[in-house]
Amino acid sequence: MTFIPRGVLPAMITPMKKEGGVNIPALRKLIDYMINGGVHGIFAMGTTAEFYAVSKEEYQEVLEATVDQVAGRVPVYSGANAIGTRESIELIHIAEKVGGIDAISVLTPYFIGVNQNELYEHFAAIAKSTDMNIVLYDNSPKTHITIKPDTVAKLADIPNVVGMKDSTGDLTNTADIINKTTRAGKDFHVMMGRDSIIYGALSYGATGAVAATANVAPKLVSSIYDKYMAGDLQGAMDAQYKLLPLRIAFGLGSFPTVIKEALEMVGIEAGPCAMPTGTMSEEEKKQLRQVLAGMELL
């Protein structure tokens, strides 16, 4: 049995200083806030973390601080996202050097157009470059590149490719992947990457979710999984619907500024987003406060 990605993992933001650079003390406080809120792992340096805006030195600094602050309380996941295969492998080597990381998530390439055979060779080369557990990551609404279910099934035969984060937002796609991997007897597990359909994904056989909203509302998001696993399906569904307004509120500003602003509103230091992502307008902030108040987070 390989490592199983499971539970609710916050797609952790990277707190930043106003003058630029990562804010490690704020990162440590955020990690404690989320773990105390019941999350089942910490996911650093993913897309919500603005991976594209940090240097390799900052990437390593964030991973070192994350592993240190988590201190074995929950599993640690890290993104290793890049356009090219070689750079993703370089990031994995940094994660290997840091140590204490349970799994690496690798986003599809972006900007360039690649076919399914090229995607297979990309992920296969990455997996074969390391002994670390690899979680595939499909966020086609952002990258416009998708890993088709048949390609996922083929990649699932590589021993250290242990799962996938599916952020397509398409439950038919999620179900097709699970049907061709987990239900086909492969040692492979799917995590939902769209916060608004965690309950639906669990009902299809997903083993959890990577949720940006868990930065802000870790107790609520974690309760969807916990209640579902305990057999309290109504409670899990009620929690999912209670979370829905926050996920919809992501549309109030450029990603991930809404998450950072919401954290500041609930008293957790997050700092600004890296340029060119700006700030929310006062009207947008007013609407966000109303959402948070309605969710009893303020």
- Residue range 199-238, pLDDT digits in tens: 999 999 999 999 999 999 999 999 999 999 999 999 999 9
What confidence category does residue 20 fall into, taking pLDDT thresholds of 50, 70 and 90? confident
User: Helix (H, G, I), strand (E, B), or coil: what is residue 256?
Assistant: coil
- Residue range 99-158, pLDDT digits in tens: 999 999 999 999 999 999 999 999 999 999 999 999 999 999 999 999 999 999 999 999
* CA dist., res. 255 & res. 164, Å (int): 22
Q: Residue 1: pLDDT above 80?
A: no
- Of 213, 269, 208, residue with least CA distance to 32: 269
Beta bridge partners of 189: 163
- Residue range 154-207, pLDDT digits in tens: 999 999 999 999 999 999 999 999 999 999 999 999 999 999 999 999 999 999
* CATH code of the domain made up of 7-248: 3.20.20.70
Q: For position 203, what pLDDT does the model report?
A: 98
6 contacts 189 by C-beta, under 8 angstroms: yes
Q: For position 251, what pLDDT does the model report?
A: 93
- Residue range 247-265, pLDDT digits in tens: 999 999 999 999 999 999 9
Give the domain ranges of the chain.
7-248
Total count of residues recorded for the chain: 298
174 contacts 201 by C-beta, under 8 angstroms: yes
Active site residues: 137, 165
User: Helix (H, G, I), strand (E, B), or coil: what is residue 285?
Assistant: helix
Q: Model's pTM, two decimal places? A: 0.95
109 contacts 142 by C-beta, under 8 angstroms: no
What are the tokens at 6? Answer: 């499971």
Alpha-carbon separation of residue 47 from 11, 163, 255, 285 (angstroms) = 8, 17, 10, 23
Q: Residue 93: pLDDT above 80?
A: yes
Count other Cβ atoms within 10 Å, centred on residue 20. Answer: 11
* CA dist., res. 281 & res. 298, Å (int): 19
The order of strands in the sheet holding 208-211 is 7-10, 208-211, 189-192, 161-166, 133-138, 103-107, 76-79, 42-44
